Structure formats: structure tokens, C-alpha cells
């Protein structure tokens, strides 16, 4: 979910615990000894892993019999001195010895990846506050998947002394270090293809994280280490270019881009007139010359006229075909969010996961404090499409997929920025018309697609912001074909 938008609708650390774990890996004169195999990990205690290349980072990890009895799961913490990021890792149901790996993060900024795990694409889904059910369309059907609660303060992640992270670029360094330490220790994954994925604010996170991994590789190769085999990024209903996104609110409310127009004509006329003024002010203050005060003022002006009219509709900003169920701040319009929260608050579940027992507060799927920190830094207004273009120039494939019923990070805005992005394949990409795509050998249409030179833009019709939740079969079909290198 994208929480900074939600603030416009009126939505506005514990001490370190040393869990019982095995002795950290020891180094003799800088020599590194990998742990080698996930099968050697304990289920009752953490094993701590480190690497001399990243002396300020270590990883605590254990087996966790959680969620899906057909595959092995693992949980743990990425420890960055006094900061601790919680993660889940599930092996592929298909062939964990050869299948690709996917890194997944939810957005916000400030939302836990437990939403992706227990609501969308994980090996199980929460069925009520006490139980989970097997999820046959999980992305673990074809890949091993990480779910990471990041940045600090999200989900089960915590800081010893209140440390925070307020920019995507800072958060990226911790993720890149974690990926390297994991691959170096568990050598069965060395050289295996990695795909970095996320949704919503993941449109900002994922390109920056992937760029950090790519740039880090160059330094690691110089030092004699094996680079991470970064193959692609996948972004679902992402916020990548804020200016194109905010202008597209008009399309979703005042045209039949997804559903029949639902905002009154007088308001739509006003919105249409405001768009060029909004874009001119925002471009001047936020792009041509980034000035914090002027940029914030410009975006407040834009939000007042282009976003606030939606709040009066009572519709779900993540699915315009539905009314918002419950309170946006508490449940993000989805009752299952409360079930996820209650489930992860159960003492037995926390014990199985190895959650730091000093975290006694109720679990929260989204941290508005983290979101506020990023908003104060205007992190969401920084142009991330340049990272996407740079990755494409380095032969890292990019998939932008969008559910057509989403308002908050909608398909029209995502289409616009992909067409406007300057890169060597832009002309060929723009010349490609949108064409239908669907299940192979069937007439069942899933959506529209445009692709050229490693960049793919695809819609999933009838899906909202959380595509794997609304359309699990279609989402899995898309991911399986993407991992296999096949065109949609």
C-alpha cells in the first residue's frame, strides 16, 4: 500500500534481546568460512552469519515450521549494529535446488511484507485471526521467495535506541548487504538468478535496491567475490514517477479508463484545468530545481485539487470497483488486514517465527511513523524512473504490472511514465501498441501488454492494487512466464 497518499484522506524501539543462537562464524585473518547449507540450520535457535566484506552487518536465521508444510521456511533478522530487519524466506515448491529467487517488499512506505506473504503471494493466506490455509497460486510454486520487513520500524523490525531510516537510498544499502551475505553463506544459491520485486511504494524501493545490488557487484568483483546474478525487477502498481501518477487521478475518476466515470462533471472540469498548472509548478520546484519548501507547496496544491476529490466518494482507493470496508487507517479497506494483525499477535506464532520477545506492542501491518519520516524527506517525490532506465541499459529486465481497478497507483499513470522515460529503447517501446495477453492456448484475456528491449508494461484487468490477492491465477501465470524469460 502507498500510505503517503492515505494521509491526504485524514490518515494520518525496544531494547536488544539476545536470543539463544549458535556461535557466529569465526574468521581467521579475514578468511571467510561459509555456513554452506540451509539444512544445517536449527529450528530452536538462531545461527548468526557474517562476512568480512560487511563488518557492520550480520544475519540471524533459523528454520521455522510456518505457513506451508510442503516446503521449508526460515525466519530471522538482518542486524545492522543497533538496527534489526525481520525477514521470511521460503524455498520453492518446485525445485529449490535450481529455481530462481525473488526478493519481495511491500510499500507504504512503512507497510510490512507480511501483507504480501499472508494476503497476496505467499505459500499460505490468513483465513481468520487464528489459522492459515494453503495457497496454491503462491509465487513459491516456481521460485524461492524472501519477504522483508523494511525499513526499520516496519512489522517485526526494530531498533535498539530509536534509530530510523528516512530515505530509500539509505534503506537500499542494508538490503544489498543482506543479499550478498545470504548468497555467500548458502552456496547452493550462488549464481542463481535473483529478481527484486515489490508493489506500491515498491515502485520507488525496488529500482533503487536493484541499482544498489548492481553497483555493489562491481565492487565485490574487484575484491574477488562472486557477484549476485540480478536478472530483473518486477513492480506491481508502483509509485515510480509521482508527477505522472498524480495527473492520472483525472483519468480514473472522470473517464472510463477502468470503470464508468464516478466524479461529478463540475469537479472533473476543475481537475482537468488544474493538471497543467500542477505539473508546471511541480516540475519547476521538484525536478528542475529541487527546493524542499517549494516542492512541498506544489504537491500540496496538486493533492488538494487532484486527489482530495476522491476521498469524498467512499470508494476503496486500492480498488475503485468497491466501497472501502472498515476504516482506511485500521484495515486499508480490507478486513483481512485485521486478521493478519491478530494472527501475528498470537504468542505461539511469534515464538515459531523467533520474533524478538521484547517487541511486546501489538503488531501493526503499517507504521505511520515510518511513512511520516519518508514524507518529511520528500522521498516519494524523487525521480525513480532514472534508476529503471539505468537498469535497462545494463540488461536488467523490468516488468511493470498494474491492476486496472487501482486508483492510488493506477495503470494510466504507470503507462505514462513508462512511455515518457528516456532510454535507448524508448522509441521502439513507444511504437509498440498495447495488445491483449492471456493464458496460453486459451481465449481468456488477462489484460494488455507492451514490451520492447527488456521493458514490459502489462495490465491485469479486474485487479486492484494488490494484484496477486485479486487475481492469483493470473498473477502466477505472469510471474512464471517472466521467470522463464517468455513474453507475456
Q: Kindly name the residue from 84, 138, 465, 470 that is annotated as catalytic.
A: 465
Please return the burial class of 51, using the count of CB atoms within 10 Å of its CB with bins 0-12, 13-18 and 19+: buried
Q: Kindly name the residue from 200, 232, 248, 258 that is annotated as catalytic.
A: 200
Q: Measure CA of the first residue to CA of the last residue in the chain; give whole Å.
A: 25
Specify whether 200 is catalytic: yes
d(C-alpha 41, C-alpha 277), whole Å: 58
Specify whether 114 is catalytic: no
How many degrees, rounded to 5, is the angle at CA 68 between CA 74 and CA 36? 30
d(C-alpha 455, C-alpha 478), whole Å: 14
Specify whether 291 is catalytic: no
d(C-alpha 328, C-alpha 174), whole Å: 30
d(C-alpha 122, C-alpha 143), whole Å: 11
DSSP state of 456: E
d(C-alpha 74, C-alpha 90), whole Å: 6
Instruction: State how beta strands 158-159 and 83-90 pair.
Output: antiparallel
Which candidate, 463, 401, 68, places its Cα nearest to that of 238?
Answer: 401
Residues in the chain: 488
163 three-class SS:
coil
d(C-alpha 104, C-alpha 117), whole Å: 9
Tell me if the bond preceding 438 is cis, omega within 30° of 0: no
d(C-alpha 265, C-alpha 448), whole Å: 29
Alpha-carbon distance values, 440 to 71, 170, 435, 446 (Å): 28, 42, 15, 11
Q: Kindly name the residue from 149, 241, 379, 406 that is annotated as catalytic.
A: 406
How many degrees, rounded to 5, is the angle at CA 37 between CA 36 and CA 41? 115
Contact status, residue 408 vs residue 318, Cβ threshold 8 Å: yes
d(C-alpha 348, C-alpha 36), whole Å: 30
Segment (H or E) for 219: helix 202-222
Q: Where are the alpha helices (DSSP H) in 223-290?
A: 242-247, 249-254, 265-282
Alpha-carbon distance values, 211 to 205, 215, 353, 386 (Å): 10, 6, 30, 10
Contact status, residue 447 vs residue 459, Cβ threshold 8 Å: yes
Question: What's the grid cell of residue 354?
Answer: 523467533
d(C-alpha 477, C-alpha 440), whole Å: 9
Residues designated catalytic: 200, 406, 465
Amino acid at each position: 500500500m502507498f500510505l503517503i497518499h492515505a494521509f491526504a484522506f485524514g490518515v494520518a524501539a525496544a531494547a536488544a534481546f539476545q536470543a539463544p543462537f549458535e556461535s557466529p562464524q569465526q574468521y581467521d585473518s579475514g578468511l571467510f568460512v561459509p555456513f554452506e547449507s540451509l539444512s544445517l540450520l536449527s529450528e530452536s535457535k538462531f545461527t548468526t552469519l557474517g562476512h568480512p566484506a560487511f563488518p557492520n552487518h550480520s544475519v540471524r536465521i533459523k528454520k521455522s515450521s510456518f505457513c506451508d508444510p510442503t516446503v521449508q521456511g526460515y525466519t530471522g533478522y538482518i542486524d545492522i549494529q543497533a538496527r534489526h530487519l525481520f525477514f521470511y524466506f521460503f524455498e520453492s515448491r518446485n525445485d529449490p535446488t535450481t529455481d530462481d529467487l525473488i526478493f519481495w517488499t511491500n510499500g507504504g512506505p512503512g507497510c510490512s511484507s507480511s501483507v504480501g506473504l499472508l494476503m497476496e503471494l505467499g505459500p499460505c493466506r490468513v483465513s481468520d485471526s487464528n489459522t492459515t490455509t494453503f495457497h496454491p497460486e503462491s509465487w513459491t510454486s516456481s521460485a524461492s521467495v524472501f519477504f522483508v520487513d523494511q525499513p526499520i520500524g516496519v512489522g517485526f523490525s526494530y531498533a535498539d535506541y530509536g534509530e530510523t531510516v528516512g530515505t530509500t537510498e539509505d534503506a537500499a544499502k542494508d538490503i544489498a548487504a543482506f543479499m550478498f551475505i545470504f548468497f555467500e553463506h548458502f552456496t547452493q544459491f550462488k549464481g542463481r538468478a535473483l529478481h527484486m520485486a515489490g508493489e506500491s511504494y515498491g515502485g520507488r524501493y525496488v529500482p533503487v535496491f536493484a541499482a544498489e545490488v548492481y553497483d555493489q557487484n562491481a565492487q565485490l568483483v574487484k575484491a574477488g567475490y562472486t557477484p549476485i546474478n540480478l536478472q530483473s525487477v518486477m513492480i506491481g502498481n508502483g509509485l515510480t514517477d509521482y508527477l505522472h501518477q498524480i495527473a492520472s487521478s483525472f483519468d480514473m475518476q472522470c473517464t472510463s479508463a477502468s470503470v464508468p466515470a464516478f466524479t461529478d462533471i463540475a469537479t472533473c472540469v476543475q481537475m482537468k484545468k488544474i493538471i497543467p498548472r500542477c505539473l508546471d509548478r511541480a516540475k519547476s520546484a521538484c525536478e528542475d530545481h529541487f527546493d524542499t519548501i517549494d516542492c512541498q507547496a506544489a504537491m500540496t496544491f496538486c493533492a488538494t485539487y487532484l486527489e482530495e476529490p476522491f476521498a469524498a466518494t467512499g470508494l476503496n482507493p486500492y480498488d475503485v470497483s468497491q466501497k472501502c470496508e472498515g476504516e482506511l487507517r485500521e484495515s486499508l479497506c480490507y478486513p483481512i488486514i485485521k486478521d493478519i494483525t491478530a494472527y501475528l499477535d498470537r504468542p505461539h506464532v511469534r515464538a515459531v517465527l523467533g520474533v524478538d520477545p521484547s517487541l511486546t506492542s501489538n503488531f501493526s501491518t503499517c507504521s505511520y511513523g515510518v511513512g511520516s519520516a519518508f514524507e518529511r524527506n520528500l522521498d516519494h517525490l524523487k525521480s525513480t524512473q532514472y534508476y529503471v532506465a539505468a537498469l535497462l541499459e545494463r540488461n536488467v529486465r523490468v516488468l511493470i504490472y498494474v491492476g486496472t481497478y487501482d486508483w492510488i497507483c493506477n495503470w494510466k499513470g504507470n503507462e505514462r511514465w513508462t512511455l515518457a522515460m528516456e532510454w535507448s529503447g524508448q522509441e521502439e517501446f513507444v511504437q509498440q501498441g498495447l495488445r491483449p495477453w492471456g493464458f496460453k492456448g486459451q481465449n481468456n484475456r488477462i489484460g494488455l501488454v507492451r514490451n520492447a528491449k527488456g521493458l514490459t508494461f502489462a495490465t491485469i484487468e479486474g485487479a486492484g492494487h494488490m494484484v496477486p490477492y485479486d487475481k492469483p491465477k493470473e498473477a502466477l501465470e505472469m510471474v512464471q512466464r517472466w521467470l522463464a524469460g517468455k513474453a507475456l
